Each structure stands twice: as C-alpha cells, then as structure tokens.
Structure 1
Amino acid sequence: MRLVKALVRKPSPKLENGLLTHMTRQGVDADLALAQWEAYGDILRDWAEVIEVEPAPHQADSVFIEDTAVVYGDTAVIAKPRFPSRQPETVAVEQTLREQGLKIKHLADWGYLEGGDILKYDGTIWAGLSTRTDLDGLDWLKRGLSAYEPTVVTVPMQHALNLKSAVSALPDGTFIAHPKAAPPESYFPGYRRALEPQGSRVLILDGETILMSETATETAAMLKAEGFNVITTAMTELEKCEGGVTSLSIRIRE
C-alpha cells in the first residue's frame, strides 16, 4: 500500500526523562534529538504529506507518536497506554486523525494497547503481548477493526519494549529481526536476521525503498546487497530512549 500521509510530533525538551523498559538511562542531547527528528521528517516529506500534531512539551515520550493509535484502512483505533504518564498523549492525536477523515474507535477502559506492538502487512496483523499491551487491548483492537476481518497473530514479547522494537516488515513481505530481542521465527514468514539490534527497525517507504537507522551499517549493507533501496538517518538520541524510525510516525497508506 502506498504511503500517503504521516503524523509526527516534535520531541519534548524532557525527552531524556521518558519511560525505559530494557535500557539503562543515558544523557540525551535535546538539541540533537530535535535535529534528528527534523531530518527524519524531511525524508518522509519526499514520500508523503507530513502532518505535525500539536507538540506536548510536558509529555516526555510524546515524540513516539506511533504508540498512540493504530490506523487500518479508514479507521483509527485510539490506543490506551498502560502508563498514566503517556495516556494524555492520545488526545491531540485523536483530534488530528479525525481532521484527516478517519473513523475513530476506542478501547474499553480495562484494556491496554500501544501502537508499537502492532505490525501490519497485507491483511495480517501481528500483535505483540508485551509490558505495554495486554489481551484485553488486543481483543478490543480486533473489535474496532472487525469490518476488515484481518488475520491477527498474537506474538509473546519478552526481550524488547514492544513488537516493532524487535521485528519489522520489508517491502517483499519478509521480516527482519535481531536474534537478541526477537520473538520466535515461527511467527513470521520469510524471516531475516538483522546484524545489529537497530537493524530490526525498518520503515517501508515504497515497494523497494526502506528507511532505517544509520547505526545499523552492516544490516543496511546486507539489505542493499539483496536489492532494497536503503535510506539511513541518524537516530542516536531517540535510540537512547528506546525509539526508532517506526515509532516516530503514524503512517496512513492507501
């Protein structure tokens, strides 16, 4: 499906105070993080309309906008982050998605779900059960998307923040993950192994072009050798906060 729009959100000056699950806290250069986010947005503008959601300077994790909603077809299911500090992030995102003409669905109050646990490709949804997403959240996601009848594969997560921190899709329908954090290969067809942890985070731009972190030099070289058009960008400050190229946007495709 063609990428037509991408929602992004300016990083908070408090980014380094955001939640961490599997990493040790490091100092984050807020100015460099902003510059890296801007460069990321500039790349997306070559492929889609980029829409900036109102910044949330007091919400440390708000740059990781992918977690706030799941877009599928003309429907957006608004997520419910498990941590109360992240729940206010969804308000402005929901409003922006409404303005784009999407139908809005919500989870029940007792379910938890973050968009970073939802990996979609060609009518199938891989849904990560992680510290951020539970079975009730996934059940309500299925209800919200019932008109589409997607195939949903539930994937247990143990060694990564969320599913898309560990595995992502490639344009040819295969998947790439790093063995250190990945769920079992049996959940995914056509499984490739990334050579660096950051190499498991890939954003599809078109049928042959992908965006990934410039930190994953060996994985990028491997994918280039296999015929993909690979664009890389600096992600160092966002990666210190367990983020990456997928978590920084909500993509709308048609």
Structure 2
Amino acid sequence: MAGVSSYGRFTHAVIRGIPESFGKGAAGEAEGGSSDSGPQAEVDLSKAQRQYGVLAGALRQKLGLQLIEIPPDPQLPQSWRIEDMAVIQGDTALLTRPSAAHRHGEAEALRQVLSELKMRLVEVTDEGATLDGSDVLFTGREFFIGISSRTNHKGAEVVADTFRDFAVSTVPVSGDRPLKSFCSMGGPDTIVVGGSEGAKRALKTMGQLTDHHYDILSVPDDAAANCLYVRGGSKVDYLLHRTADEYPESAAAFQKLTDYTLLPTACSEAAKLGGGLSSFCLLINRKPEI
C-alpha cells in the first residue's frame, strides 16, 4: 500500500516558537485541555523555551531534518501546538479546523510555509466540521481519527475524502483529550499506548477496526505514549520520547526497543497545558524537485 515503505522517512520539520503569552488563552485565560499535572499547573516560560530549543536541535542535528521555524506570535498563545493545524501525508497537506475558533488564525503562517514547499493544500470548508491534527494517527497503512471534544465525524469525513488511498476509521475518545495524548506510532508497525482505561478502550476499538496486526508497546503513563518516530539514513530508527526524570517507568519500557536510537526529550512545561512531543512539529517528506 502507498506510504508503507517510506513510513517514518522525513526531510523537513515545521515548528513554531514559544510565545511570551505561552500558557495564556485567547483573552488572557490559562490554556485549557488536560495536562500531566492538572489544568492549573503554573508554567515556566523560560524552561518551556529551553525544552523547545532542545527538541528543535534534536530534529535538526540528530535526525538531520531541514528545520523550518515559524516565529512565535504573542497574539496566538497556542500556536506552538502546530500539530493541530494540519494533517500531512505525501505531498498533500490538509489544513484543519480546530474546535476553538480563536485558533483559526494560526493557519495563515503555516499555509504560506506549505505553499513554499509546493504542497497540495486542502482546507476544511464545512463550518460544521471540527478537526484537530492531534486527533489524527497515521500508521503508514491507515488513519485512525479520535472523535473527541476537538474533532467530530464531519471532520473525520474530510480526512477520508482528502486521503482516499487509505482507510479511515473513527475512535471515540472520552474527556477533553485528543487521541495522540495517549498513543502514537513507535515504528512502521508499532503502536505505543498508555496504561489508562481510556487508552486501553481506544486501542481495543482500533484493533476491531483494522485487518492489520500491529505490535503494541504499552507504557504505564499516557503522556509518555506520545513520542516521535523518524527513520534516518542507513535505516536507523530514532525515537524521541519523554525522559526518565519525567516518567521513569515508561522510559524503562522504551528500552525494549533495542534496535532503536532512543532520544529522551523533556516536555514538562508544554505537558502542563496538555501538549506532547508531537504537538511541536509537523514532519514532511519532500523529495527535491528535478
């Protein structure tokens, strides 16, 4: 099937800086959403910016990706969550429609970047549709779409219509968490999933909706299940995951991936706002034009 052989291979990473308004909502309120430490946890702006810088450095220097950084915008306090704004596969980028209307302005700068990369742009035009990229799990074979407070069935239908070469299945997600807050891909055929009952229910549903067998790596902590897999040169498998300081038991579980180059990466400040490692970037595979 298209996409499987190249799964995990990327050339570019698009990221967006941490603004001075980090942790503030549209009107100065604290950002909503579930978090590692509860929605009232106080964030450390300087620490968040340092952690962002470490992640950016790993993407560029260790993974060898061409890094495209969109400057932070203090008027868009949640714009660092760039994953929410697009679903990208191949040369197609679907610009999403987050459920939070005040976030719609985040798409403009990203649209310009994707246009410069000569991506085929598709946009959600149905005003009744909501779609957050953090609810979209692409396995290389198919899409699983979390149906949550952020993404509805109409949004999932847009994904299915845009990426017609792939099966698209919907997975109910309870509460205010997106699908990728407790699961992600740890390789071409490996799903990493957290230990909560909600995560287990979602995984069971996914198993009932697919004909493909996926290996499962279970980690005790839901937030630690959000990681970034990249296949580098010479078929080296890289996995960015949360650090042992943050989640010691989950970090130990990743040691089972003995053929991987593991890159522990802290994300504690963004996690206080419900973010994960994948929140910070959009990974793209663009071959040079001849």
Question: Given the two structures, how large is their TM-score scaled by the length of structure 2?
Answer: 0.82
1:56 touches 1:89 (CA, 8 Å); kept in 2?
Answer: no
What residue number does 1:33 align with? 48
- Paired residue for 1:88, among 105, 113, 125? 105
Name the structure 1 match of 2:256: 225
Q: Compared with structure 1, are the counterparts of its residues 210 and 27 closer, same or farther at alpha carbon in structure 2 (3 Å cutoff)?
A: same
Q: Report the secondary structure of 2:277's partner residue.
A: coil
Q: Which one-letter code corresponds to 2:143 in the other structure?
A: I
Q: Could you say which residue in structure 1 is the equivalent of 2:215?
A: 190
Report the counterpart of residue 182 of structure 2 in structure 1: 166
Alignment of 1:67-216 (within 5 A): 67-107=84-124, 108-146=126-164, 149-159=165-175, 161-180=177-196, 181-182=198-199, 183-186=201-204, 187-188=206-207, 189-206=214-231, 208-214=237-243, 215-216=246-247
Residues 94-145 of structure 1, C-alpha deviations (whole Å, 9 max, x = no match): 1111111100001122211010011111221111101110111111122122
Structure 2 match to 1:63: 80
Matched AA of 1:190: D
Listed one character per residue, the Cα deviations across residues 38-74 of structure 1 (whole Å, up to 9, x for unaligned) are 1100000022111012322211111010000011110
For 1:134, the aligned partner's letter is N
* 2:284 corresponds to: 252
Q: Which structure 1 segments of 5+ residues have no match? A: none
1:17 to 10, 14, 24: 24
Q: CA deviation at 1:172?
A: 4.6
Instruction: Tell me the amino acid that sits aligned with residue 49 of structure 1.
Output: Q
Alpha-carbon RMSD across the aligned residues, in angstroms, is: 1.6
SS at match of 2:253: helix
1:148-184 alpha-carbon deviations (Å, 9 max, x no partner) = x211121110045201111111115121111224143
Structure 1 contact 128–162 (Cα < 8 Å) conserved:
yes
1:8 and 2:15 aligned: yes
Gaps of 5+ in 2: 1-6, 26-30, 208-213
Aligned residues: 252
1:218 deviates by: 2.1
| Aligned match of 1:240 | 272
Residues in 2 aligned to 1:223 and 1:123: alpha-carbon distance in whole angstroms: 23
In our comparison, the structure showing a higher alpha carbon Rg is 2
Contact 2:173 2:202 in 1 (8 A): no
> What whole-Å deviation, never above 9, does each CA across 1:6-51 have from its counterpart, x for those lacking one?
1000012111124322332211111111111011000000221110
